[in-house]
Structure formats: structure tokens, C-alpha cells
Amino acid sequence: MINKYLTEMHLHTKETSNCGKMPAAETVESYISLGYNTIVVTDHFSTHTYYKYNYDSLNWQDKVDIFLKGFNSAKEAANGRINILLGMELRFDSDSDPNDYLVYGVEESFLRDNKDLLNMNISSFSALARKNGLMIYQAHPFRFGMKITNVKYLDGIEVCNRNIEHDSHNDIASLWAEKFGLKKTAGSDHHQKGNEGLAGIISRREITSNKILLDTLANQDYTLYEKKL
């Protein structure tokens, strides 16, 4: 029998993401009950993350601490019962790029060492990500308000986004990925109760670390999972 492991690739917490409505601990319990093996916490990392704070009074380490609140809460709640990995949904502080980018393989040290992340653009960040072995997938690329990104800066795109409040035109995203040879991913884009466990990836190897996640993505050693409603 081939083992199958289920991973959530797009998830937000109330502690960090302003759009998040479900506390990390409650989310973790729900995903355990649904049979997931791994959650990649991809809280929003943008200037909007700090709208409840005095942004200019925060130093970079303060900003990283705030960003990590959801991830740390999820990890504490999991207590080893489910794998919790750090990712992010990055948006640059730029009027010309309204896009969201799912970044995988992120470590806390990377965030703390790169103080200009939010002031970069997809070109400069792509170079930095590749230098550090990270992978970039444009989130919901055909949702209203997004812009086409030059595929040379991406590893892949999210072709199945199951956010219950948006139409992400997943069918178009899938065709786009096939046209340009982009890797595909799927995620619930979880924000609130009722939006958990709707999508993800199924792998033959349990994803217990960012290294295994990156290997799995790079080798496309997975299938997309979408819950039938």
C-alpha cells in the first residue's frame, strides 16, 4: 500500500492576518480532525499586516515578531500532533504590483536577515528567493484585481484556490500553468470556520520539514487535492 499524506498549502491565522477569523489553535484542531498531516502557515506579509500598529514606530525585528504570532501559536497548539511549517503570502509595498505570492521554504532567520523584503519587487525578490532555495507560487493569479506576472520569476501558480468568498477562476489558472509549464499547487486559502480542509496536496512522503516540502514541490511528487462538496 502506498502511503498518502495530506498537506494544506494556503492558510491564515487570526493572530497575524487581518482577514483571518479563526484562531490558530482552533484551526489546528480542525485540521487534525480532518486527517491532514501538515499545515503550511502562509499568513499575509505586507504593510497591511501592521495596520493595527504604528507601522513607522516598529523596527524590523518587531515586524517579524508580529508576523510569526500565528505560526508560533499554531506550532504550540499542534504539540507535535501535526506538522506546522512556515510560509508566507507576500505582497510588496508597491502600487504597481497588487499580487500575492505564496513563498515556501521560509525560515525565521531568512525573515530576520532581509529587512527590505516589503520594499522589493518580484524581480529582485525572485533572485533573492532562488539564492536562498525558496520557491514562489503566485496565489490566485486570475482573481479580480490581480495582474499577470512574468513567469520567469515564478516556480508555479496556485491553480486551485478554495476561498469561499472569492472566485479565483481556477480553470483559467490551470490552463495558464499548462501553457507556460508552471508547477501547480492547491490550497484552501483558509480564513474562517467552514473554509478549512477544502484543498491541498497529497504526497507519498510525509512533509515534516521545509526541506522535504521543497523537494516534493521541485520534483512534483504530489497530486492536487480538492474536497468534493
- Whether the pLDDT of residue 2 is over 70: the answer is no
pLDDT digits (tens, 9 = 90+) for 141-178: 999 889 999 999 999 999 999 988 878 899 999 999 99
61 is written with which cell numbers?
A: 525585528
Domain 5-226 fold is TIM Barrel (3.20.20)
CA 161 to CA 159: how far, in whole Å?
6
List for the chain the helix, strand, coil content (%; round to 5). Answer: 35, 20, 45
Domain boundaries, the chain: 5-226
Please give the average per-residue pLDDT across 193-209, as a whole number. Answer: 97
- Cell numbers 497530486 correspond to 223
- Whether the pLDDT of residue 96 is over 90: the answer is no
Taking residue 37's Cβ as centre, other Cβ atoms within 10 Å add up to 20
- Whether the pLDDT of residue 1 is over 70: the answer is no
Q: What are phi and psi of 101, to 5 degrees?
A: -125, 120
31 is written with which cell numbers?
A: 485540521
pLDDT recorded at residue 55:
86
CA 51 to CA 109: how far, in whole Å?
24
CA 161 to CA 211: how far, in whole Å?
24
Nearest in space to 9 (alpha carbons), one of 183, 228, 194: 183
DSSP calls for 163-188: -TT----HHHHHHHHHHHT-EEEEE-
Q: Is 224 helix (H, G, I), strand (E, B) or coil?
A: strand
CA 212 to CA 205: how far, in whole Å?
8
